[in-house]
Structure 1
Amino acid sequence: MKKVFHKIASFCMALLVLLSTVSFTVDSHYCGDILVDSSLFGHVETCGMEVNKQSPLPECNISKKDCCSDEQQSISGQDELQLTFDKITLNQQLFVAAFFHSYNTLFEISEEVTFTLNDYPPPIIVRHIYKLDETYLI
């Protein structure tokens, strides 16, 4: 049970680090107030109601208000992860060494078994008391 919990916790922490460092962009296309398309990895599809910004003739000055709008939301990830250990201070090195040593000795199995009965001799048996207290039913 402990190994399973350890594996689940390790996987969740790795997923947390991955998701906190990834940045992505969400593109959305609205036609009026209605969401037409939303995309995470590519360009959004339009509804086909966009107004041409350039008129074909310079004499034509008809301007229409465009009802469509595109929104782009960027979610940036964390860039402050320390990937190299070149700038570790002396206090940090001492902490890592002490933690490593204490963690390794925590799970060390001691194979030394001491018997304390070797110092004390067994009692001297004068009579077999268990034989004297026996009762037999006939």
Structure 2
Amino acid sequence: MFSTVSFTIEKHFCGDVLVDVSVFTEAQKCIMGAFETDQQTIRKKICCKDEVNVIQGQDNLRLTSFEDFNFQQQLFIASFTYTFISVSQGLAEHVIPHKNYSPPHLVADIQVLDQVFII
């Protein structure tokens, strides 16, 4: 899957110093780069530069169908699918025997009456 993904790496340099590196988005410009774009008519030499590296993914994919596999591969895929589906099916609902019973009504707190405390 990763061989088919294309992405870009954008780097922004101010002079020889690397200011920002970003993947998938535009790199942040430094303050000098923003100043130079405003004052571009005054200056002819710009010290900031952008470098963009494009990494291309694979374009040609080989699509196969179930009939392209030999009999042993088809048998393995079918048995694996059947086993995976049968194992991952939900179990029977867990029965809680005391679900409908309420706890007994406490008349008094025994620990306080007996003055027994865990310290």
TM-score when normalising by structure 1 = 0.44
Structure of higher CA gyration radius: 1
TM-score when normalising by structure 2 = 0.50
